[in-house]
Amino acid sequence: MTTVKDIIGEMVSPSPEDETLIRTAYDFAKKAHEGHQRYSGEPYFLHPAAVAKQLASMHLDAQTVAAGLLHDAIEDTDTTDEAVAQVFGDEVLFLVRGVTKLGRHKYRGAERHAESLRRLLVATSADIRVLIIKLVDRYHNMTTLEYVPKHKQRRIALETMEIFAPIADRLGMGRLKRELEDLAFPYIDPDAYRHTAEVRKLMGKETEEGLAHAKKTLQRELVRRGLTGFHTEIRMKGLWSLHQKLKRKHDDITQIHDIAALRVIVPKLEDCYPVLGAIHALWKPLPGNFKDYIAFPKPNGYQSLHTTVVTGDAGTVEMQVRTEEMHRHAQFGIASHMTYKTLGKNAPKASFERFSLAWIRGLIPSLLHLSKRDAVVETSPKIAHTEKSNSAFMPPWLSELAEAHTSITGADEFITGLKEDFFSHRVFVFTPMGDVVDLPIRSTPIDFAYAIHSDIGNHMQGAKVNGKLASFDSPLANGDIVEILTRKTVHPTTKWLEYARTTLARRHIRTALMEIDAAVPTEKTRPNTPTATRARPRRTRR
């Protein structure tokens, strides 16, 4: 059982207040889960305690670690929101609520599941730490998947592989990604898993001695060249990633040179290239295999030098050179930046890609795919598949997210984005039907209307936000439910251009204004035309 000391021990210089917060959360959650058990028969509290410990080991802040302890308390016990807010404050409550799944009775099966994911995305849009807790939660649940009822195992494993591992990858959390994949792999393709494990074991054995020898040779050479303060490690390729590579190389093991890689971790950036020089002086590099991810980081921020060399002892071996800081990022990704209290000054200056929802959209096809599979697995054969049940499994907000073409602009740098929290420059709002629309921050009902359809925008008469009438220029907030009231006789005015924030809305307004201008002479010759039917207010429907 993880003790509170274990958790605090993993934290980076916690303040006395931090320690008190963790101790209180520990006792609170332990009491709340009293009498509950995991599928394994162990006390339930093992799980939140393990999640908290891992969050602490990733050097996340005390609020996040406390939320890790409490993350299942509201969902699974009698604990209320109010109680959590009272003892731990609104910040911790927000994090816990973000991770909490939906009430059991409201949604069922795949529908409930899709709703949970939607909620997760909305909460994540406000605070990326929600997603980090969720990933760690999933990781710990995967370590005990063997105790989960058989019929659920495969679905959970697929979801882990197709949704959570790619999210971890996109956030640069390489270690978590790899662990999630390798934990899911045996439940997805047991035969391939056994085969790949066998291959890795054999190859590992074959190269073990040679690799240890090459490591010694390199260490000696680095010291001879006056390099100090470095350390080396041997990393084995993850099983899932090895499996993917084997498939690409038509199962030809001789084509794979990075089953085992030798890694050199140095204190400073200036040390990286001299180490590379030493490696290439010792062994001939394989032409065309050198990659400088320091000068050209991967989109998720990963940095390292990769080269493949032909050693006498260990055959062809991949070598990786990186700084401590790059190493931390490669393992913990986005989480490694959350620890910097003053982001910007000390944060690595790597030029990261702009934030874009595109990567979440990229996951949507798998979500749809999974939902459909869910339907097959979880629906009893007696229930015929009607159109209605199908649409429940494929909520429209999913396809909407997948189809939307807007991308995040604004913050120029990844780090800036982090500082202000993930996606904080976007808002997610909902139609009365529950479809989600993502818009730039400070968007108004006009932007929303045009995002739905130009026809709705062009005839917008008014808007209701969360059931109350709102002005055209009122900024929308995350989670708002927006209803647009339309009337055929209403047309855009130049004033609307001031209220609109999206280029999409502005473009449509300008086009409509031009058409009205052009139509002026004819309109003057006619009496006011709208017929009774045209004038009837129409409610938006999606």
Select the span of 71-79, 260-268, 272-280, 498-506 touching Mn ion (CB under 5 A): 71-79
DSSP assignment of 229-286, as one string? S-EEEEEEPPHHHHHHHHHHTTT-GGG---SEEEEEEESSGGGHHHHHHHHHHHSEEP
Residue 127 makes contact with Mn ion by CB under 5 A = no
Residues annotated as catalytic (active site), given as ranges:
75-76
Minimum CB separation of residue 101 from Mn ion in Å reads 9
* Nearest one of 331, 301, 337, 299 to 233, comparing CA atoms: 331
Size of the site for Mn ion (CB under 5 A): 2
Cβ closer to Mn ion: 137 or 447? 137
Minimum CB separation of residue 308 from Mn ion in Å reads 41
Minimum CB separation of residue 323 from Mn ion in Å reads 34
Select the span of 69-77, 398-406, 443-451, 493-501 touching Mn ion (CB under 5 A): 69-77
Asked if 216 and 314 touch (Cβ cutoff 8 Å), the reply is no
Beta strands, E only, 312-352: 315-323
Select the span of 20-28, 70-78, 100-108, 390-398 touching Mn ion (CB under 5 A): 70-78
Cβ closer to Mn ion: 72 or 169? 72
Cβ closer to Mn ion: 137 or 159? 137
DSSP assignment of 359-417, as one string? HHHTTHHHHHHHHHHHHHHHS-TTS---HHHHHHHS-HHHHHHHH------S--SHHHH
Cβ closer to Mn ion: 61 or 137? 137
Cβ closer to Mn ion: 144 or 217? 144
Question: How many other β-carbons are positioned within 10 Å of the β-carbon of residue 231?
Answer: 12
Minimum CB separation of residue 33 from Mn ion in Å reads 11
| Cα four-point dihedral sign 109, 465, 440, 130 | negative
Binders in 226-285 for Mn ion, by CB under 5 A? none
Select the span of 11-19, 136-144, 283-291, 457-465 touching Mn ion (CB under 5 A): 136-144
Select the span of 130-138, 150-158, 292-300, 444-452 touching Mn ion (CB under 5 A): 130-138
Asked if 57 and 101 touch (Cβ cutoff 8 Å), the reply is no
Task: Kindly give the interhelix angle for 62-70 and 46-57, rounded to the nearest 10 degrees.
Answer: 160
Asked if 538 and 513 touch (Cβ cutoff 8 Å), the reply is no
Residue 72 makes contact with Mn ion by CB under 5 A = yes
Return the SS3 of 154.
helix
Asked if 169 and 378 touch (Cβ cutoff 8 Å), the reply is no
Residue 438 makes contact with Mn ion by CB under 5 A = no
Minimum CB separation of residue 329 from Mn ion in Å reads 26
Cβ closer to Mn ion: 326 or 335? 335
Minimum CB separation of residue 48 from Mn ion in Å reads 7
Minimum CB separation of residue 133 from Mn ion in Å reads 9
DSSP state, residue 468 = E
Q: Using the structure block, give the residue that is written with the tokens 């059982």.
A: 1
Select the span of 5-13, 64-72, 104-112, 224-232 touching Mn ion (CB under 5 A): 64-72
Select the span of 66-74, 223-231, 308-316, 342-350 touching Mn ion (CB under 5 A): 66-74
Give CA–CA dist 64/68, Å, rounded: 6
Cβ closer to Mn ion: 137 or 318? 137
**Helix (H) / strand (E) containing 517:** helix 503-525
The first and second tokens of residue 485, run together, are 């009231």
Closest CB to Mn ion belongs to which residue?
137
Vertex 229: Cα angle to 226 and 230 (nearest 5): 95
Residue 137 makes contact with Mn ion by CB under 5 A = yes
Cβ closer to Mn ion: 72 or 438? 72
Residue 133 makes contact with Mn ion by CB under 5 A = no
Mind spelling out the 3-state secondary structure of 40-108?
CCCECCHHHHHHHHHHHHCCCCHHHHHHHHHCCHHHHCCCCHHHHHHHHHHHHHHHHHHHCCCCCCCCC
Minimum CB separation of residue 120 from Mn ion in Å reads 13
Minimum CB separation of residue 127 from Mn ion in Å reads 18
Cβ closer to Mn ion: 51 or 357? 51
Minimum CB separation of residue 444 from Mn ion in Å reads 38
Q: Using the structure block, give the residue that is written with the tokens 């739905």.
A: 452
Q: What are phi and psi of 468, to 5 degrees?
A: -110, 145
DSSP assignment of 179-206, as one string? HHHHHHHHHH-HHHHHHHHHHHHHHHHH
Cβ closer to Mn ion: 35 or 287? 35
**Contacts with Mn ion, residue ranges (CB under 5 A):** 72, 137
